[in-house]
Structure 1
């Protein structure tokens, strides 16, 4: 049996052979080392990502996941670059991963140190070989147990012409984590084990290998397990905090966002942690991350906490984030043209917003451990972007100032510029026959502000596919690929799905309808989805400077705080809110049908704020809670009109109001609800006029909006008008909306009706 000391000696040899010695761990320049001085306790990370497997279909977003985590740990959590070891693609063999874990983490970590382990790649399950018939039934039962696997690049090898699982077993990972001499351990596993039987789920790629492994596990893997178990004196019952991308019967997914591919869980997690504050707990963080994943994917993937010693402990405490550090939207990663331009890494922005960032403004902020930083802050105007990176021009008239811009400076959003011509992108399901895709492409080309693409190639907002009960669309697609001809189409209807293939309610038609008929039928729903996309582009809880907080609570059957959202960058102390003990420990919040709810909105700023509530209900319909008409607000004809709600500084407003005859009772069907509370320093004049034109009568209660797209555009116009001076200052193009973070806030509430 190999001894531990021998293993470490071997580890050093392997690392040296890979070029991964301590002297060569960092992929960053030496100036990072000076800017980010080592602090105590020490922070160590091992980040693994595999795209190019030696078997099966390659993945596309795992290496990006590693880059997302690395930039986050360095610039947000103060990890020294030389303490982060990354292993990707051909280097990510089972032996190298396990050796690196022992050498880089186990050998170096001490009590009180911080350790992060990340894995992005395929997961699978291993079925033990069937025993001989002569063995007992009990032994056969034991031998049929299934083990979860993390697949390295060489996860399947051939020994004597038989496939052997050469993978990192989940049991081995648990032993490795429990062997660490510190409790401050966080593991992020952006993978899944469930065999979904498919590689492409809707517009997304699945990170579960689509077949279970059988046969044997390599003797080296089993030997490592035995070696770890022999060191029982260092084995702890606590593996630390383990976060995984999907629940046991779900699949983790990756896909195109905007010029880059990433795991949706990793992106949502890192984007949240760029903007989060030290008070954020694991429970709250996973709730936020799950909401973002639901927006990007649908409800078929919900992240979970696999293990946690205390879910109420701050997630950021695990990373030892200084309380003085404010959230950021990105960081300067290069300075060019003698300080006149900079390259920014903008992983703190919501994925969809990043796509429309041209001409937006950012400002540098005080960055810890960065000497000689310019004061006052410098403004940076985005000129171009490619994926997560953007080119920015320094808005400064003096060369002396701009020359002081430094790599490593954190940046925050100041002005968001959005184009008027935002389109809805519809992916055409790969299970559609060729003639169906041709007809759908032609039909969608005639729908204003809608673009169709082939599934799996680009980022999409929804998916158009067949709703069939007569056959498996997957089996049909496989049959066509084998025989090379188009089979007769089944009598089925068409509908819309989330990018992750969750059906969008009330979009399926009658069996046998033509593709063009289906597309024409779906135009109102497409407009609703575009309206939702526009409103999501205003989400800025992390960057808004308005002082506003909103709390969602149930009032029946019991009164409990379920969710809270606050603007964390306002220049006033954020009020403290404690969630109920019944709030979900992970995933998105759940509300039972027939429960009564209300929102409490508190203005903790120094000026009156106006607000409006809009959303998409579980039926997929656009809804709004409009204020009641009042005789105090008369239009030119003298009839009753209405105004947006206003909250004065220090005041709390409850909606629906306690004295309102309307009570907000959660209605079916079961599904995901998304509510946007939008705030502005100026009244929503254009929005009110649009609502009046629709001749809506159900004021003072929830109502379905017949003109949701017009309302969404009106809201953006109102927010643009509220930022009028800023729009003039940056000389914005006339076909854009300019939104100033000092004048608006959008808080999102996503929950599931059960």
Structure 2
């Protein structure tokens, strides 16, 4: 009996042989990927065409090609994948025969032992499980019923590539360093979101494999040596979002930003932070990304030059004082003009012998600072802030002086391919909301809603859902009942039947509190800079446990990575102070009736002012305050807040998601302290009672928006003048503040 190539690839033998041949390696995946003797390969697949046959009414996805380009940019620009080693298919090209041929020629015939391979797919996914399958199955249980929709141009019939087939192809490669990236949904139904999101689930598209029946069950399948990084879980959705004239998968946006900003192979913690911040506010827990690896590793490809992490890359030199590049940050999802006028440091890498001296190891050239002047699609144009390029003395990673001959290499040509790192962020002094009107509203309801929202100061625009990015969606709960929803369709504010019923204008007038909170969170998200802040801070959030031998449980851990001379973290295997470590999770969970505790550390030589603010799981606006003047941390201080003997943060109430921000500043926050006094005491005078009589605990705010606006005012009062910005904007230095999102789910 003989097998040709296609029979082998399509059969289950490849899957079985791949599992049998795979052995767990004790060598670090990161070291294997960093090897200079092995090559890196990429196969990038953009599907998302409208369905054929019975699925012909399914709309084409707009963001899959963008996903493909984003991944190609970061793999080549930050991970050193050669252009000849990158291949792919666009939506009009992707058919099963075309994919089989490309996989054979590009990967199976060329990849050698020890090479690293990434295969990425963006498009529609299908999930056709039997009724007997568990509601929340594992990947091993669901793998046989998952498929990828391939429908190239001119194809009349839906083509489904079983995920087991793709996994078997990957396991047939000579290497064991294989990564499969999926940005597609696996819901059994096709969702119709209310806002500017489009689902990537094709439902039960395709037929169940003929061998999958009760009398002849499928053999057990597994991922073997393949590391799976998926936008969602079996049975869940995945979405793309419109970005002006382009669209992209939300998960791919988070993934590519994490890859650019990472200076090591350990990607998972950053990926969970970025994807959580993008997905949870819009979808809650409807899209939960997954990472499955054979040895529980959180590593991805090692960057070409470790430490060269940033927010973008220089792609073109326009002239002596101008360049073009790509900046990968989700800030435009919050405010369209956010990147405009912000300033970035271009970090060239200089070869000296066998080492690479990165921008972190050099004194900054006088014009290494560049300001964004124009944004067109994914391309930004930046101009130099200083004059001609001059290099100063520097040291390499070993502390040895860098010779003038080496420094002479830092010329304009060296900037090509340089990493762009945020140094100063331009923020508007005014910000408002965009409300989208859901498709289920009648014409007269739209007219009334547009008029009612137009009279609210926190709203700047009212659009139809799907016409552009929106902060929320106004639509129907049921006939003659209305509410505000996230773009993913989750109600934003619980309304009583009387509040949500009646005339549209009456219901809109009851939404002031919800709109104020939305705008406050929009401001805090615009200020979020956990990856770029240069404040030296570490945060550990733990929950006390009960029982005979209670130990604190690690909920969330974060440490700033761009603080100069940041101390090494030697707490391997624990979260500090003996707290057992846990693998990073997409959405941390906390249990009711147990106390939370926050541990903060200031590495710097200056005191830091700050507080915690946000919305708790009960839906209340809250703030955590330690001292009346908001001085939170002395220099070099380690703080446990609250103390073990005073567990003030007892978790109770609804089983929902809490959304906090840790705010820190090098400067005092007098306006913020006054606003907190007004909102906590209920006294709105210009001289409200101080916070001296309030204990260091979580306190309820009557209105969160005035506090956040006061914070913006305090930060803007210390804006810098290194570059010109319009009068309605302020330029903030990343050395001056931190806004860190913290989310957890109460269970």
Q: TM above 0.5, one fold?
A: yes
Cα 1:85–1:703, aligned 2, differ >3 Å: closer, same or farther? same
Asked if 1:241 corresponds to 2:250, the answer is: no
1:720, CA displacement in angstroms? 2.2
Deviations 1:564-603 (A, max 9, x none): 1111011123452535667466421111111211111101
Q: CA deviation at 1:298?
A: 3.1
Distance in 1 separating the partners of 2:199 and 2:167? 24
CA gap 1:325/1:422 in 2 versus in 1, 3 angstroms: same
Match in the other structure for 1:456: 466
The answer (yes or no) to whether the contact 2:308–2:419 under 8 Å persists in 1 is: no
Tell me the residue number matched to 1:88: 90
Q: Give 2:317's aligned residue.
A: 335
- Counterpart contact for 2:482–2:507, Cα < 8 Å: yes
The residue correspondences of 1:250-649 to structure 2 (distance < 5 A) are 250-278=236-264, 280=266, 282=268, 285-286=271-272, 288-305=274-291, 307-311=292-296, 313-315=297-299, 318-321=300-303, 324-336=306-318, 338-348=319-329, 350-352=331-333, 355=336, 356-367=338-349, 376=365, 378-398=368-388, 403-404=412-413, 406-450=415-459, 451-468=461-478, 490=479, 492-507=480-495, 509-510=497-498, 512-557=501-546, 558-576=551-569, 577=571, 578-579=574-575, 583=582, 586-628=585-627, 642-649=628-635
CA distance in 1, matches of 2:284, 2:485: 9
For the Cα contact (< 8 Å) 2:596–2:650, is it kept in 1? yes
Conserved? CA contact 2:607–2:631, under 8 Å:
no
Deviation, structure 1 residue 514: 1.4
- Corresponding position: 1:186 with 2:179: yes
Q: How many residues align?
A: 648
- TM-score, normalised by the number of residues in structure 2: 0.80
Q: 1:259 to 1:271 in 2, by over 3 A?
A: farther
The structural deviation recorded for 1:276 is 2.6
The root-mean-square deviation of aligned C-alpha atoms, in Å, is: 3.2
Deviation at 1:664, TM superposition (A): 0.4
Shift of 1:193: 2.2
Equivalent in 697, 720, 741 of residue 734 of structure 2: 741
Per-residue deviation, residues 101-139 of structure 1 (Å, max 9, x unmatched) = 2221222222221111110001123589xxxxxxxxxxx
Q: Call closer, same or farther: CA 1:616–1:259 in 2, change over 3 Å.
A: farther
Taking a change above 3 Å as real, the CA distance of residues 396 and 740 of structure 1, as seen in their structure-2 partners, is: same
For residues 473 and 92 of structure 2, what CA distance do their matches in structure 1 show? 34
Q: Distance in 2 between matches of 1:652 and 1:581?
A: 19
Whole-angstrom distance in 2 between the partners of 1:688 and 1:525: 23
- Residue 282 of structure 1 and its aligned partner are, at CA, apart by 3.4
Q: Counterparts of 1:7-156 in structure 2 under 5 Å?
A: 39-53=36-50, 55=52, 56-126=58-128, 147-154=145-152
TM-fit CA distance, 1:651: 1.2
By how many angstroms is 1:353 displaced?
5.7
Quote how far apart the aligned CAs of 1:695 are: 5.2
**Which is further off, 88-97 or 534-543?**
88-97
Contact 1:270–1:348 under 8 Å retained in 2:
no
Tell me how far apart the structure 1 counterparts of residues 275 and 477 of structure 2 sit (CA, whole Å): 30
Cα deviation code 1:308-351 (max 9, x no counterpart): 1123x232xx3023573232010111221x23222221114545
Tell me the distance in 1 between the aligned counterparts of 2:389 and 2:489: 52
Q: Tell me by how many angstroms 1:658 deviates.
A: 4.0
Shift of 1:699: 4.5
Q: What are the Cα deviations for residues 240-291 of structure 1, in whole angstroms up to 9, with x where unaligned? A: 2101111222111111245531111111111122213427363664355334
Distance 2:540 2:358 in 1: 41
Q: CA deviation at 1:98?
A: 2.5
Following superposition, the deviation at residue 721 of structure 1 comes to 2.5
CA contact (8 A) 1:246 1:302 kept: yes
Q: After alignment, is 412-421 or 269-278 more displaced? A: 269-278
Give me the whole-angstrom Cα distance separating, in 2, the residues matched to 1:147 and 1:447: 49
Which SS does the other structure have where 2:345 is aligned? strand
| Contact 1:678/1:744 (8 A) holds in 2 | yes
Q: Give the Cα–Cα distance (whole angstroms) in 2 for the partners of residues 747 and 48 of structure 1.
A: 34
Q: Distance in 2 between matches of 1:199 and 1:239?
A: 36
- Counterparts of 1:720 and 1:273, CA distance in 2: 31
Residue matched to 2:708: 712
Distance in 2, matches of 1:304 and 1:248, equals 10
Q: What displacement does 1:692 show? A: 2.6
Cα separation, 2, equivalents of 1:442 and 1:396: 48
Q: Secondary structure at the match of 1:610?
A: strand
For the Cα contact (< 8 Å) 1:280–1:314, is it kept in 2? yes
Task: State the shift of 1:718 in Å.
Answer: 1.7
The 8 Å contact of residues 426 and 730 in structure 2, kept in 1 or not, is answered as yes
Q: Deviations over 1:703-722 (max 9, x none)?
A: 12223111111112222223
Q: 1:734 to 1:372 in 2, by over 3 A?
A: closer
Please say which of residues 543-552 and 388-397 is displaced more in the overlay: 388-397
- Per-residue deviation, residues 507-540 of structure 1 (Å, max 9, x unmatched): 4653532111111100121011100110111111
Q: Which residue of 2 aligns with 1:676?
A: 661
Q: Is the 8 A contact 1:276 1:542 kept in 2?
A: no
Matching of residue 208 in structure 1 with residue 201 in structure 2 = yes
Residue ranges of structure 1 left out of the alignment (5+ in a row): 9-36, 129-143, 220-228, 230-234, 469-489, 629-641
